[in-house]
């Protein structure tokens, strides 16, 4: 079926019942809005990875402590103990920024630089936008990994800062689940390196279960230099949802 005849807009009542969130398929005029929302969502990952991520990596904390002790033993200067943590935080920020910019470049040279060509030409993939009060405020994409019976990957989930916690992310996520059911995929899978609670809560709320964690995940676009390995370390959570067993399937969408 042609993508244009598959327009499947869905209006959802906001919590206060006054506004509606419309989730519709991407149109070429949406591209700058989609790229901006994607870019801003990615940039949030820089402090998230550099600072919030630190307390999740005992091995990094041990390494930085060992570096501090070693520098102190070599220099016998007490100020090293105060200075080194600041250097470490700057290093983590610098390398997180570098890797995430590399990832952005990787995405812009691929799917996010040609959304129409990458997502909208095949029936196995799609990108949707969420529209609230006439403005594009969110994005999500789905890419079939195999033919029917396999898995579809949920990608590029991002919601404009000003429209968060109003049900936009959940509406976008449900659209991907509906897509999976309609196209007879068995699973929806996704991965995230976020340390903030919001994406993890959102996916769990949608019914996803964490099925694995890769510690020291190599982000696409990273160059894995020695310093990058010291200052950039992330965990990649893998989530999966069996759609045919999920509530959305039993509702008969």
Task: Report the interface residues with ligand COA, using CB under 6 A.
Answer: 41, 44, 157-159, 164-170, 192, 194, 197-199, 201-202, 205
Q: Cβ 75 to ligand COA, closest distance in Å?
A: 41
Q: How many CB atoms lie within 10 A of CB 93?
A: 16
Q: Which is nearer to ligand COA, 199 or 207 (CB)?
A: 199
Q: Cβ 22 to ligand COA, closest distance in Å?
A: 14
What lies within 8 Å, CB to CB, of 126 at 6+ separation is 3, 25, 26, 119, 120, 141, 142, 179
What is the chain's alpha carbon radius of gyration, rounded to the nearest angstrom? Answer: 21
Q: Cβ 247 to ligand COA, closest distance in Å?
A: 14
Phi, psi for 159 (deg, rounded to 5): -125, 135
Q: Which is nearer to ligand COA, 46 or 159 (CB)?
A: 159
Q: Which is nearer to ligand COA, 56 or 147 (CB)?
A: 56
Q: Cβ 158 to ligand COA, closest distance in Å?
A: 4
Q: Cβ 77 to ligand COA, closest distance in Å?
A: 41
When CB distances to ligand COA are compared, the closest residue is 169
Report which secondary-structure segment, H or E, holds 154: strand 151-159
> Is the CB of residue 231 less than 8 Å from the CB of residue 94?
yes
> Is the CB of residue 152 less than 8 Å from the CB of residue 176?
yes
Q: Which is nearer to ligand COA, 53 or 167 (CB)?
A: 167
Q: Cβ 167 to ligand COA, closest distance in Å?
A: 5
Distance CA 111, CA 124 (A): 14
Q: Which is nearer to ligand COA, 208 or 232 (CB)?
A: 208
Q: Which is nearer to ligand COA, 67 or 202 (CB)?
A: 202
Distance CA 75, CA 70 (A): 9
Listing from the earlier edge strand, what are the strands of the sheet with 20-25?
Answer: 10-13, 20-25, 125-132, 135-144, 151-159, 187-192, 235-242, 209-215
Q: Which is nearer to ligand COA, 84 or 168 (CB)?
A: 168
Q: Cβ 197 to ligand COA, closest distance in Å?
A: 4
What's the angle, vertex CA 233, arms to CA 227 and CA 234, rounded to 5?
155
């Amino acid at each position: 079926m042609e993508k244009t005849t598959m327009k499947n807009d869905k209006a959802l009542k906001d919590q206060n019942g006054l506004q509606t969130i419309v989730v519709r398929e991407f149109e070429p005029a949406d591209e700058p809005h989609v790229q901006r929302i994607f870019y801003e969502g990615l940039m949030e990952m820089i402090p998230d990875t550099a600072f919030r991520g630190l307390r999740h990596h005992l091995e990094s904390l041990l390494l930085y402590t060992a570096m501090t002790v070693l520098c102190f033993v070599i220099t016998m200067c007490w100020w090293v103990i105060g200075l080194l943590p600041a250097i470490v935080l700057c290093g983590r920020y610098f390398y997180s920024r570098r890797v995430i910019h590399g990832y952005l470049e990787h995405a812009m040279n691929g799917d996010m630089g040609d959304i129409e060509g990458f997502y909208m030409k095949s029936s196995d993939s799609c990108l949707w936008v969420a529209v609230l009060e006439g403005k594009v405020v969110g994005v999500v994409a789905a890419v079939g990994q195999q033919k029917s019976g396999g898995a579809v990957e949920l990608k590029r989930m991002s919601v404009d800062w000003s429209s968060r916690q109003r049900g936009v992310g959940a509406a976008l996520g449900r659209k991907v689940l509906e897509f999976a059911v309609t196209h007879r995929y068995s699973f929806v899978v996704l991965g995230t390196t976020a340390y903030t609670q919001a994406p993890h809560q959102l996916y769990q709320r949608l019914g996803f279960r964490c099925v694995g964690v890769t510690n020291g995940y190599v982000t696409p676009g990273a160059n894995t230099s020695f310093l990058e390995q010291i200052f950039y370390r992330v965990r990649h959570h893998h989530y999966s949802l069996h759609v045919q067993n999920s509530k959305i399937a039993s509702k008969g969408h």
